[in-house]
Amino acid sequence: MGSESDNEGMIIDPGASAKQILSTVKELGLNIRLIVLTHGHMDHIGAVKGVKQATGAEVAIHTDDAKFLRRLSLSTIYNFSFPSTPDRLLGDGDSIDVGDLHFTVLHTPGHSPGGICLLGHGVLFSGDTLFNYGIGRTDFPGGSHSQLMNNIYTRLMVLPDDTVVYPGHGPDTTIGTERRGNPFLRS
């Protein structure tokens, strides 16, 4: 995602191929300043190192999920390595400012202890907390269904109906669409 005035950009959850991400960055002509991780699961952080090395961007993750980076950096199962420490530890209410992009960190644990959503410009990046007609799994270590539901109700369902939601997986949606039709939420 980039800001139009100065071509500064940030990347949320570089999970897939660093090469592909970097070619998109190049196409858009962005200077990537920050890599924000909505949580520490493998499918969201797989390309962190490659993207960081190529762009020099800082890596930010919530304090409670920083351990995932450390653990993966020590692991020999994966033949690509990870930066062991993030450059920036995030907490609830923190501001993320890159160029003219301004987002607020919402700590929404449940899928993962350090799971966050990013809110700004009428848009919510919901990580693996909320999906289009779905919610995050809570059967991973540190997961909690009641915590996840509580966060969805008290942090996300209080947002305006027209807030556009970009989840970590699947199609984008809006808060209103989920409020009305998400089968996991009581009406």
Measure the CA angle with vertex 167, ends 181 and 14; round to 5°.
Answer: 170
Q: Does 41 bind Zn ion (CB under 5 A)?
A: yes
Q: Could you tell me which residues are beta bridge partners of residue 155?
A: none
**Residue placing its CB nearer to Zn ion in the complex, 3 or 108:** 108
Q: Does 43 bind Zn ion (CB under 5 A)?
A: yes
> Looking at 29-37, 40-48, 57-65, 82-90, which segment touches Zn ion (CB under 5 A)?
40-48
**Residue placing its CB nearer to Zn ion in the complex, 128 or 178:** 128
Residue 111 Cβ vs Zn ion, minimum distance, rounded to whole Å: 6
Q: Does 128 bind Zn ion (CB under 5 A)?
A: yes
**Residue placing its CB nearer to Zn ion in the complex, 46 or 168:** 168
Q: Does 87 bind Zn ion (CB under 5 A)?
A: no
DSSP string of 39-96, one letter each residue: S--HHHHTTHHHHHHHH--EEEEEGGGHHHHHHHHH-SSSSS---SS-SEEE-TT-EE
Out of 38, 168, 174, 178, name the contact with Zn ion by CB under 5 A: 168
56 φ/ψ sector (left φ>0, alpha ψ -120 to 50, else beta): left
Is the C-alpha dihedral spanning 18, 19, 20, 25 positive or negative?
A: positive
Residues lying near Zn ion in the complex (CB under 5 A) are found at: 41, 43, 128, 168
